[in-house]
Amino acid sequence: MKELIKNRTPVHIDLYPNRDEVYTGICLKSNDEIFILNCFNEETQEFDGYAVIRNYEIEKYREWDKEELAEIKNNNSSDFINKLPLDKMNNIFECLCQLQNEKLVAIYTESDDDSYFVGQIKSLSKNNLELKLIDEDANWIGREKIKINEITYIGFGTSYEKSFERRVE
């Protein structure tokens, strides 16, 4: 994995059987705790925001082949590389600390696949996070307390979160 990070080689990250998800992009950091990915958007065929995934969720990964690399329409990865304080993002809590000023984050928890929340971080402690939630119509709908140790995924800076940001400004 160190070589893939150094060379900025795109990868597919497979979470099955933990979750039926495959994430795609450039790995920016991997350690025993987390995996930070510059996401690739299959629809736009360009790089789009970030994902932080708990490392224990990852079952396997593989680097892209030449045909997949040719699918990149706009290699805008330089817009995302070296933009995060990766030295301060070694676990989920540290990542959340760095994301407190993000307008919106998306979070999955381990309780079930329906535990997907989009919102703004309002408070953060070592054990808990409080999100001000937004619904699919970009309306603020209340708050959700989430245990840090139950968070398996954090998405931020993607076109998905940005689409909500434009509607609530």
| Structure confidence at residue 113 (pLDDT) | 59
At 20 the pLDDT is 86
**Residue among 54, 85, 50, 41 nearest 153 (CA):** 54
* Separation between Cα atoms, residue 28 and residue 35, nearest integer Å: 8
Question: Could you tell me the CATH number of the domain that includes residue 15?
Answer: 2.30.30.100
Distance CA 136, CA 57 (A): 27
Tell me what pLDDT residue 169 has: 57
The string of pLDDT tens digits covering residues 86-111 is 999 999 999 999 999 999 999 999 87
User: If you average pLDDT over residues 41-59, what whole number do you get?
Assistant: 94
Of 52, 31, 51, nearest to 39 by C-alpha is 51
What pairs with residue 167 in β-bridges?
Answer: none
Question: Is the pLDDT score of 85 beyond 60?
Answer: yes
Number of domains in the chain: 1
Range(s) of the domain holding residue 93: 2-168
Predicted confidence band at 1 (pLDDT cuts at 50, 70, 90)?
Answer: confident
Note the pLDDT of residue 115. Answer: 84
Range with the poorest average pLDDT among 48-62, 80-94, 99-113: 99-113
